[in-house]
Structure 1
Amino acid sequence: MPVKLTETLVKQALADVAAKAKAYDLIDTGCPGLLLRVGPRGARFAFKFESGHKTHRLTLGSPETIRLAEARAIATEARRRLVDRIGIPDDRFLEAQLRKLRKLEPKAEPPPRDPAIVQAFEDDMLRHGEWTWEDARAAYLAEVARVRRPDTHTDYRKMLSLPELAVFEGRRVRRITIEDLATIVHAVHASGRERHAEHLASVLRPMWSYLARHEHKKKSGVDAGMPQLKAPERTSGDKPRANGKVPGGYFASAQEIGYTVAVARSGVLEPSLGVAMELMVLTGQRRRPVASAEVADFVEFVEQPGWGVWAMRPIHRKTAAKRGDKTLHCVPLPPALWQRLQVQVGRAGKSKFLFPQVRPRKSGGTADGHLSASALNHRLLDMGVRASPHDLRRGLSSLCQTELRILPATVEMILDHSEGVPTDNVLERHYTNDKRLDLKVPVMEAWISYADRQFEAAAATLPSVEELGAELARRRRERELAGKGKRTKPEAEEEDKPEELAAAA
């Protein structure tokens, strides 16, 4: 019967149960749908409702376990679910309500899912086709090859193939964090390769900027670049290299320059390599422009009979192409050097490069490229010269000023690709076509004359070609055994040996 339930009526119902009274229902008028069913087997709160043209009763519990107010709260929530069409109150709903009222023990938390399995599911099912580390690296290097110099592409490819980065293989780049990359950079720095760590960070930053571009986000999953990725600060003080030199602080002496030219002209080196070495020392240019020089870059100096001109295009010069600099850097070449270069042009044959590639870099490859710039470094080491190609460049600058008393601004016209003019000078870049050859000729005349005197002094003390070749081969073998050079196969035939080793054998 309908009645507003009270605690008194509930107690009376429990008494009726104990007395084995007849069964009856008390319908609560204070909470629609709530009723108290009383019978010989006990009393129960229940919630009665209509759904799908059927009448349903959801038993809530005994008055001994839940109070009237709690039963009304459950019934009210059940009615709200029906009105709002959230769902039909069922046993799962009742269990949740009883746990909420702390009538049941809290539900045990399911064991955590394996993060690796979750990631694999998300990667395979929800983000299928996203780039892995290998995919992203290949895409970025293709972009570098398109917009940067070949040497830059080679450098970036080597940096992104470091053994320390192998931990990312097969991993989606979206899941590689700045903390992951910083850990790798720090490990490289901690190994003593501090400059290497800085360079690695400088390669990874633009790579992530590339991955975060709008046109690549769907493929990479990377939302933002990593401009904050940096290597730790360098250790204070100048750290000498293994050979005892402080980077940037060594200047080639006059004796080293004379000895290098003497060895280059002695015939102990492969002929093209000897001319390349001489061109690098006597013009003070960087090793890469020398190694990649093209035959078309060398022309006769019409106004100066017997002389030639090396006109370096932006592609051969550091950062020039990136800046949009289309000017030529021209270096006059004195007669003796020009004649040796003319012989080299004939030696180059049909190759567009003045110093063609001698053999394929890889087995089965083609030899249609140019001399490796590293070959110049390696031959200097074979000679026992302490100076690097850049030290020889510094030596030219220093000796021109200290010994020949040539003004720094004049030396700059030979060494500096901008020839001492700021790169943002509008007049120079757009309204001037002066190569300043008349100002450069006296510099080259004085320098070549000075270098030839050093050459004559060094050449007088050189051993025979056979002895010199054996000495170069011995130093090279020492470097190879120390893991600092490519080793030739022991079973290699005589014709497979590098020319300078074959000559020394």
Structure 2
Amino acid sequence: MAKSKNRKTFNPQWIERLKYDPKLAPPSGRMEIEDEACPGLLLRVTPRGVKSFSVIYKVPGEGGVSPNGRLLVGRQHRITLGTTPPIELKDARQQARDLMQAASEGRDPRGERREENLIRHTNTFEAVRKRFIDRIKPNVQAWKNVERVLKLHVEPHWKDKPLRDIRRAHVHEVLDALIAEGKVGTAREVKKHLSRLFNWAVDREIIVDNPVHGLKRDELGPNEEAGRALTDEELRYIWKAADGLGYPFGPMYKLLILTGQRRGEWASAMRSEVNTEKRWLEVPKARYKGGRDHIVPMADEVFSIFEGLPVWEGKDYYLLSTTDGKVPVSGFSKAKARLDAAVLKAMRKADPEAQLTDYRVHDFRVSCKSRLASLGFKPDISEAVLGHAKVGLERTYNKHEYLDEKREALAAYAKHVMEVVK
């Protein structure tokens, strides 16, 4: 790979202060500097001060094979990552490393990147919003209001913007504009509907994260996304409806109800993470939200559900799967719709006019915390059960902290739930 004459270890402050210098620019007029910390990553600066990242690389094998069998690199290629801002140095370096890794494996990432960009620009906010509304129409009576709010107050800002490019800062900008106009209620509605749209997009792997998750706006009042505790009647109907779903979603919902864990803790659980001797699920930090190991003691009722799950060869398989353990379960939105339909059908057998109050799977966690308190367990125990991260020096505590207390709490809670749903 040809080396740039101008090399510098990049840092965000230096990039922000960097000015165009004609002495460092070639006849093309664009100044170009290579990152010493990530060779192959270049920063271009135009005479007008526009700064952009790009990557240069060569692919082994494109130049043929030498007489002794060595792969020869071909000509140099370049991929432009985009301007900075919005692309940050950390992201640019990661993209550059990924692209050069692909090249080192003999793959020209330009084709992959073209396909990724096609998918990215196909999934604009407008396109995703339309698909989202189409999906919720059969199950959400107020879908027209959801559509109106998104089209009127969000789409003018993001219509052609790829959903993957929307960040929390963009959400804040939309909310700031509404609040500045005195439309606090509208801002609250926008935040709520955006959160649901982004959650739907995450479930379909259109995007990786929901930018509204954890977004704090005190002026919008209490966080309506925090959820609510379910009533005994609701738990009873949901539990019985889960029976009718069968594997894998029926057991998944029951495990979530009985343990108060996040959906991902069970949906992506592997057989190797269950210690049958100690009767616990150990969620590794690699896939745990808090970035640390988390142990979930399994009460008798939970362990009984685990024992009833299908068994595949070895221990390196997913407990909940539709592919013989090869891939974790997915399609959560459709499963939730089936669950809700079964609940409403059962409710209307008792009362033809019954209505199902909206609830989320996250509400199983809220219910667990609320009922642990009513069972006499202190907040620090319920927080440990739910796996909420500690702050400061407490984060250094051993992952087995409160293990006995968690086991006792979850055992009591499981017995309580079984009494409620019987």
> TM-score, structure 1 length as denominator?
0.41
> TM-score, structure 2 length as denominator?
0.48
Structure with bigger gyration radius: 1
